[in-house]
Structure 1
Amino acid sequence: MAAKIKKGDTVVVIAGRNKGTTGEVLKVIPDENRVVVRGVNVVKRHQKPSQADAGGLKTFESPVHVSNVALTDPRDGKAVRVGFKTDEHGRKTRYAKRSGESIDV
């Protein structure tokens, strides 16, 4: 299966407590069908001190399911579905189905 959402993409959350929030994809976990998005699903965890870190109460982004996010349209920034085309060089590229605009540049 081809990856519709990749690291560095701008996505909008379409379901859950952070619905409507946009952010950049920091990490993709394909085995679990999850993505980590900057500023979305922020949780606090207690962390023990180590040699590298002082420990304490840390905040970080927890993964969200890939079905709860959608890619943003390059034209207007709204949520859009992703399709695939082959360009003039024979490469497979992603495009926004609503506007027809290419996502991969």
Structure 2
Amino acid sequence: MSGRVKLMEQLMRPNRSKLKRTLLHKPSRWNIVRGDTVQVIQKNHPEYGKQGTVAQVLRDRMRIVVEGVNVAPRRLKGDAERGVKGQTIMKERSMHYSNVNLVDPVTGFPTKVTYSFLEDGTKVRISKRSGAIIPKPDILTQRPPRNLVSSKESDTIDDGEVWEATYDADRPSKWAAMREELLKTLEEKQGANAIASS
């Protein structure tokens, strides 16, 4: 039985939804990054033709979140103990990355992308529609701030404690002392065994 026939048999089974997830093609490289301007190209999508900026890229799920596109109501729970009421907010939902294309910076229409190298060796995205370079957004160079813990109180009182030498090279380490004790006990046991055997 050929591989094509086996694949067709698996696809014709009733619970083929599980199989489709395994057969999905994950892209080897992502043309769309956070901060790019994209347009919805899927014709049966309710937001067809809308443009927006990519707010988030979910590569493990092959989905993206576009600002102002695919907005739906979302219910936030309230907390009676704190006195916070529940409310409904409008929030962007994610969509599959194949439903959108990058917007050509020259024409303003969606385009496919190819890659090329400049004379200085930098890799750039090239629009297939106009041949223009699509630069990476500036937002990628900005890193989100980290929650760094900084202590205002110092453990040392004065500068002398900072520069004080605390390592003593003459003092043997505790591991060396333990090793010597272990070797002594082994020698004693071997001597006792030698006396017992003779």
**TM-score, normalisation: structure 1:** 0.91
Give the partner amino acid of 1:14: I
| More strand, by proportion | 1
Deviation at 1:2, TM superposition (A): 2.2
Larger Rg: 2
Map residues 14-33 of structure 1 onto 2, 5 A cutoff: 14-15=41-42, 16-33=45-62
Conserved? CA contact 2:107–2:130, under 8 Å: no
Deviation at 1:55, TM superposition (A): 3.7
Q: Is the aligned partner of 1:96 residue 2:127?
A: yes
Give unmatched runs, 5+ long, in structure 2.
Answer: 1-27, 137-198
Whether the 8 Å contact between 2:39 and 2:50 is mirrored in structure 1 is yes
Q: In the alignment, which of 71, 80, 97 is matched to residue 66 of structure 1?
A: 97
Q: Which has the larger share of helix?
A: 2
Of 42, 52, 55, the match for 2:71: 42
Q: Is the 8 A contact 2:39 2:110 kept in 1?
A: yes
1:8 maps to amino acid:
G
Structure 2 counterpart of 1:80, one-letter code = T
Alpha-carbon offset, residue 54 of structure 1: 5.1
Q: What is the identity percentage for the equivalent residue pairs of Structure 1 and Structure 2?
A: 39
Number of residues of Structure 1 aligned to a counterpart in Structure 2: 104
In 2: Cα distance, 1:2 partner to 1:85 partner: 14
RMSD of aligned C-alpha atoms? 1.6
Runs of 4+ in 1 over 3 A off after TM superposition: none
The CA distance in 1 between the partners of 2:107 and 2:68, in whole Å, is 21
Partner SS, residue 67 of structure 1: helix
Counterpart position of 2:40:
13
**Alpha-carbon distance in 1 for matches of 2:94, 2:30:** 17
